[in-house]
Copies of this chain bind each other. A is one copy, B any other.
Amino acid sequence: MRIFIVHAHPEPTSFNGAMTRTAVSTLTSAGHDVVVSDLYAMGFDPVSDRRNFVTVKDSLVLKQQAEEAFASERNGFVPELQAEMDKVAWCDTLVLQFPLWWMGLPAILKGWIDRIFAAGRAYGGGRMFDRGVFVGKRAMCSVTVGGHEAVYSEHGVYGRSVSSMLLPIHHGILAFTGFGVLEPFVVHAPARMSPEERQASLAEYGERLLSLEVAPTMSSLRMADYEGLVLKSASPLPFSGPPALRR
């Protein structure tokens, strides 16, 4: 198994750092290949615009998607983006490791998506969901959050689970591009854990990682049910219940 971990935390000694070190040692010991992009350590620039390209389709007006599609056909991405695209193409499973900041991805990781998942490379021409570019690959969010679990429930101030908060990422980014989306691994309030609790959580994460190949993925869409990106009238609604799991 080839695992690509995109790591987005500024402090190496953080719990996120410990999780990625656990992932590398656990997976490597089990005979898997692991590649890590440590975005802060790399000084990754998350701003998406003309800086993405060595090619220029229209020098007067920037239409980002059109420039992306143009660059996709001409090997026109700057080397630091091409290198990340190559890692995504290489892997069987993509792991996004991040602290939940403001209910979403830290900007450095959001910009990694904005820039790497370019039109022509990650989608385009009807390639999405079960016809997506990354069909056959799996993806998982590995997330730390500051609050306890109850705070992320319908009775908590956030009103919904971390998994619900991740829905735009799960559905709109990962499933959209064809990944089989695994349930996220969520760690609550690591800063308030005892050393024993930290070790137990890291051990649980290690076990979870070893099941990446066989764990169920969330249900996605079948594009055959859609016409013009809208459900054909005869098809059942795909989101009528809680997210189903399938093997």
A residues contacting B by CB (< 8 A) are 10-11, 13-14, 40, 46-50, 61-65, 101-108, 110-111, 113-114, 117, 128-129, 146-148, 150-151, 153-160, 165, 168-169, 171-173, 176, 191, 221, 223, 226, 228-231, 237-239
Q: Summarize A's interface: helix, strand, loop or mixed.
A: loop
Contact of A10 among B50, B117, B191, B223 (CB under 8 A): B50
A150's contact among B111, B173, B223, B230, by CB below 8 Å, is which?
Answer: B230
Residues of chain B with a CB closer than 8 A to A13's CB = 61
Question: How many copies of this kind of chain does the complex include?
Answer: 2
Smallest distance from the beta carbon of A24 to chain B beta carbons, Å? 21
Partner of A108, one of B107, B117, B160: B107
- Contact among B50, B102, B151 for A229, CB-based, below 8 A: B151
Asked whether A107 lies within 8 Å of B230 as measured between CB atoms, the reply is no
In the assembled complex, which residues on chain B have CB atoms less than 8 Å from the CB atom of A65? 146
Contact A104 B107 (CB under 8 A): no
